[in-house]
Structure 1
Amino acid sequence: MSTPFWVAGKPASGPDTAVIRSPYDNSVAGEHDLPGSDDVERAVQAAADVSAETAALPAHVRADALDHVSRSLADRSDEIAGLITAESGKPLKWSRVEVNRAVSTFRWAAEEARRFSPKMQRLDTDPGGVGRTAMIRRVPRGPVLGITPFNFPLNLVAHKVAPAIAVGAPIVLKPAPGTPLTALALGEILSGTDLPAGAWSVLPVPNSAAPGLVADPRLPIVSFTGSVPVGWSIKDSVPRKHVALELGGNAAVLVTPDWTDLDYAAQRIATFAMYQAGQSCISVQRVYIHTTHWDELRSKIVAEVRKLVTGDPRDPRTDVGPMINLAAAERVEAWVTSAVSAGATLATGGGRSEATVEPTVLTDVPEDAAVMAEEVFGPVLSLNRVDSVQEGFDRMNSSKFGLQAGVFTTNLHTAFEASSKLAVGGLLIGDVPSFRADQMPYGGVKDSGIGREGPASAMDDFTEERVTVFTGLPI
């Protein structure tokens, strides 16, 4: 049976369907109806029509809807995790983590909706303002277009949908064509809320339909997570819109000479370089190891990588599954071959079977190799030696990306220096950069994007300040 899409909060069907297959073995994960141009028009117009109504919704209505989604995801966690694995090839253990994170994302958004309040500012700080007080409230900019990628088909959708509901902004969601089933299941859950018709739509349209949605003046906010070229082309195409971009990176780690727990560092680096087949924008990609630890830590990391279980993502024991498709796997394989040709040493891995790439470790990798300079988005880790902490900082900053980084140090001065010098949106001390708490501000600098996710941060992005000045009121 084909899964319906969602227009203005109602299930809808069409004459055409798409079959979604597992990237692991090509088995059918599901089938869904495809929206036509008339469906897209109905969804966008409904969002525009309901904009004033959603903005005026009481906080308890918005918060209750978000709580309903959070509870429903928790109740259906096994089912939703299985769906994520089926359509994306993500190992089941990581799909379960993703569902749990989405439960938290919607819960946090509900809490933020309840405390989303105006601020008061006294204006009698200068003589001309005596007797005046300002109330500063945040109001929705208008309907949101949310465009999400394949690698987190639930939680990255949550980071668009939840803050939009929290501020009272309608949202039209375009999930990735390769992994739309999870977003459509979320639509089923959303249909059980009391949100007005038009407050949300889920449109699994092909990427070719995205430019029309991006350009539509009825959608003044575009929140995009995905590739660098597409993201910046969106920003360039609609300069008068408010655009938020989360575009990934090539996350770096520095292991300083004062760090002594090399077993912990090796385990964390190996796990989070390869989890989800490296298809995370904060997957560990570049590691700079101080010469003091080079020989020992390099060996430990390689040993930890070799322990990882690669195979069927439906098996709870599997650590590393396939990439999203064969083309992606072939690209990663080519990048590894190119790095070795340029002088890198292949320490382990490097092979490929269909869409599954072996967890791969390279050492002594030239900085201009694609596996260092670009975003691999695959299970490939590059290790390089540095002679000083400052050299490590410099080489970490040499990237055109700046999403998150990690520094293994126990030295408080080094930690503060890293926080000051590293041009990234987020820094992890004593850990890899792959940690994200869903309530914290999350985003990057340089080519990694603009704006921040996390419910409270995205709520700021989706709204603008409106000032009301009261005259003659005592304070």
Structure 2
Amino acid sequence: MKTYAIYINGQWANGVENRTICSPYDGKPFAQVQWAGEEQVESALQSANKASEIGRSAKTYQRSQWLERFRDGLMKRHSEMTETISEEAGKPLSVTRIEVDRGINTFDLASKLALTHSEEHYPLDIIKYGENYHCLSKRFPIGPVLAITPYNWPLNLGAHKLAPALAVGCPVIMRPASQTPCSSLLLAEIAEEAELPPGMFNVVPCRVPLVEKMVLDDRIKMISFTGSPEVGWALKQKAFNKRVALELGGNAACILEPDTDLDFAIPRLAVGCFAYAGQICISVQRLLVHETIREEFDQRMLNHLAKEFKTGNPREEGVLCGPLIDVDSADKVMEWIEEARLDGARVLCGGKFLAKNMIEPTLLDNVKHTMRISCQEVFGPVATIETYSDFDQALQIANDSKYGINCGVFTNDTRKAFKAFDKLEVGCVVINDYPTFRIDRMPYGGVKQSGFGREGVQYTMEEMTEIKGLVLNLNSYEPFKP
């Protein structure tokens, strides 16, 4: 069993307690992790604060090289990182490999963007008084960033905070989710091998009160949080005088028009709804199917789930849906399913435990919009199906949510595609694919209760910098004449 210490200022330190990390699938102990106390948290704050000058003074090529070495180190340890995430998160290997690939791509993209994300120059002669004046604008790092990461994509969502920060020269203190700290600490090992300057990356597993201490500390200049809306919005209130980026929950809808290619859509939507037991912020939770294809859609989706979609041990190849992160999460999902059933919803498939924290992929219809299974984020292997008759009605149903990250629309009508883009109240509209689609260069984030600010490497780089202007007067020195 591997043992992890805390990573602060380029060194490994012991904490105040030792925790055992177990597999969500079978409870098998996987690793021992040191948990930080007040002393270690203070050391991390001092370290990041001191490293601010290192990041600010680092040359562009140096920051790019840091990221290249991260990329190369992650590539070298691809298998180890894949196994680590799969064990601590209960994530199927096929899904985890995609996460590691995306992490590599994120560091690679950041290394390239670091070379181009610099000064802009423009003349100011847009009015008479601006003749022979020029402006140079440059972005400067905001300072230490507190990155609070979730359990479901511990590497990729961590990389989306760390890579942009390093690209612009911001030190990072990462507080990983208590269920999945090992992947972040493995990333710290890669940082050590990459010879990242001390203090630029610190990993501090700790209890919630110590997270709150860091949130309120004046040395932290920005907080990047991914997690539940309840925690995220409360955090933003506490950190009212800091820059805050929130990537929160969702209950993504997907609209299927009559011309949908079901041969393509069915297997994609099965993955979008149920891969990794639905523990994805943009997992498909609401399927809106046109009335003319509803019967065929139901038959084909149920047949696909029964014959081709594999649920079970996340260590087995081909499995797409494994356990939920813990028993409490599984019990909550099952409670919501039963609550909906008692209120008139019909279970088309699933709806049963396969193990203490593993639930069958579940499809429900005849749901009401007031049911928690429909209007809240389930974060489990559950999707609802609803029929609509015209496109405007589908858009209205999709918008009938307090969340809004991504929405999918299957249509070959360009006018409908652009209408959806204009009308849907979400951060991104995905045409002819599931809303679970994400490439790491895209702007990513939510509206309404789903978040604040945007991720995506280049957009996070902007969030983590302050822009400053330098004005140059190239006129000869003469008295001002109005």
TM-score (norm 1): 0.98
Task: Tell me by how many angstroms 1:178 deviates.
Answer: 0.4
Name 2:422's counterpart in structure 1: 420
- The whole-number CA distance in structure 1 between the counterparts of 2:159 and 2:82 is 14
Native 8 Å contact 2:110 2:163 kept in 1: yes
Structure-2 separation of matches of 1:392 and 1:316: 37
Shift of the alpha carbon at 1:364? Answer: 1.9
- Which residue pairs with 2:361 in the alignment? 359
> Structure 2 CA distance, aligned partners of 1:193 and 1:79?
17
Q: In structure 2, what is the equivalent of residue 273 of structure 1?
A: 273
Q: Give the match for residue 187 of structure 2.
A: 186
Letter of the structure 2 residue corresponding to residue 129 of structure 1: G
- Once residues 475 and 3 of structure 2 are traced to their aligned partners in structure 1, the CA distance between those partners, rounded to angstroms, is 61
Q: Which amino acid aligns with 1:196?
A: P
Partner of 1:131: 132
What is the CA deviation profile of residues 292-344 of structure 1, one whole-angstrom value per residue up to 9, with x for unaligned ones?
11111122112222232111111112111000000000000001111111111
> For residue 267 of structure 1, what is the amino acid of its counterpart?
P
Following superposition, the deviation at residue 75 of structure 1 comes to: 1.5
Could you tell me which amino acid in structure 2 is paired with residue 416 of structure 1? F
In 1, Cα distance between equivalents of 2:156 and 2:10: 20
* Number of the residue aligned with 1:217: 218
CA apart distance, 1:267: 1.4
CA distance in 2, matches of 1:92, 1:194: 30
CA RMSD of aligned residues (A): 1.2
Q: How does 1:313-324 map to 2 (within 5 A)?
A: 313-324=314-325
Alignment of 1:382-393 (within 5 A): 382-393=384-395
Q: 1:68 to 1:464 in 2, by over 3 A?
A: same
Identify which range, 177-186 or 131-140, moves more after superposition. 131-140
SS at match of 1:191: helix
Contact 1:282 1:403 in 2 (8 A): yes
Contact 2:37 2:210 (C-alpha < 8 Å) held by counterparts: no
Name whichever of 311-320 and 285-294 sits farther off. 311-320
1:54 paired to 2:48: no
What letter matches 2:64 in structure 1?
A
1:134-283 correspondence runs (5 A): 134-259=135-260, 261-283=261-283
Deviates more, 1:113-122 or 1:276-285: 113-122
Alignment match, 2:298: 298
Deviation of 1:187 (Å):
0.1
Unpaired segments of 5 or more residues in structure 2? Answer: 477-482
Classify the secondary structure of the residue corresponding to 1:102.
Answer: helix
Answer whether contact 1:224 1:245 (CA < 8 A) is retained: yes
Q: In 1, distance between residues paired with 2:127 and 2:318?
A: 66
Alignment equivalent of 2:450, drawn from 443, 448, 451: 448
In structure 2, the CA distance between the partners of 1:473 and 1:380, relative to structure 1 (3 Å rule), is farther
Where does 1:306-385 land on structure 2 (aligned, <5 Å)?
Answer: 306=306, 307-352=308-353, 353-385=355-387
1:54 positional shift: 0.9
Tell me how far 1:15 sits from its aligned partner. 4.6
1:194 positional shift: 3.6
The alignment-based identity, stated in percent, is 38
CA distance in 2, matches of 1:82, 1:461: 32
Out of 446, 459, 462, the residue aligned to residue 461 of structure 2 is 459
Equivalents in 2 of 1:14, 1:221: separation in Å? 25
Could you tell me whether the CA contact under 8 Å between 1:364 and 1:385 is conserved in 2? no
In structure 1, how many angstroms separate the alpha carbons of the residues matched to 2:206 and 2:68? 28
Structure 1 residue runs of 4 or more that deviate by more than 3 Å after TM superposition: none
Matched letter for residue 275 of structure 1: A
Distance 2:89 2:208 in 1: 17
Provide the C-alpha distance between the structure 1 equivalents of 2:392 and 2:151, rounded to a whole number of angstroms.
Answer: 37
Indicate if the aligned counterparts of 1:2 and 1:17 stay in contact, CA closer than 8 A.
Answer: no
What 5-or-longer segments of structure 1 have no aligned partner?
none
Alignment check: 8 A CA contact 2:41 2:210 kept: no
Q: Distance in 1 between matches of 2:259 and 2:48?
A: 55
**8 Å CA contact 2:73, 2:194 repeated in 1:** no
Question: 2:480: which partner in 1?
Answer: none
Distance (Å, rounded) in 2 between the aligned partners of 1:20 and 1:72 = 24
Work out the CA distance in 2 between the residues paired with 1:269 and 1:62.
Answer: 39
> What's the offset of the Cα at 1:53?
2.1
Code of the residue aligned with 1:454 in structure 2: it is G
Contact 1:372/1:382, CA 8 A, preserved across alignment: yes
Q: Take 1:264 and 1:174, find their aligned partners in 2: how far apart are those partners?
A: 39
Name the aligned partner's letter for residue 436 of structure 2. S
Deviation of residue 271 (structure 1)?
A: 1.5
Shift of 1:5: 1.4
Match of 1:408?
410
**Which region of structure 1 is more displaced relative to structure 2, 280-289 or 43-52?**
43-52
Equivalenced residue count is: 473
SS in 2 for 1:14: coil
Please list the CA deviations of residues 31-86 of structure 1 after superposition, one character each: whole Å capped at 9, or x if unmatched: 11112211110111111122122111011111111111111111211111000011
Conserved 8 A contact 1:263-1:300: no
- 2:409 and 2:465 map into 1 onto residues whose CA distance is 34
**Could you tell me which residue of structure 2 aligns to residue 119 of structure 1?**
120
What do residues 143-163 of structure 1 show as CA deviations (whole Å, max 9, x unaligned)?
Answer: 100000000011111011101
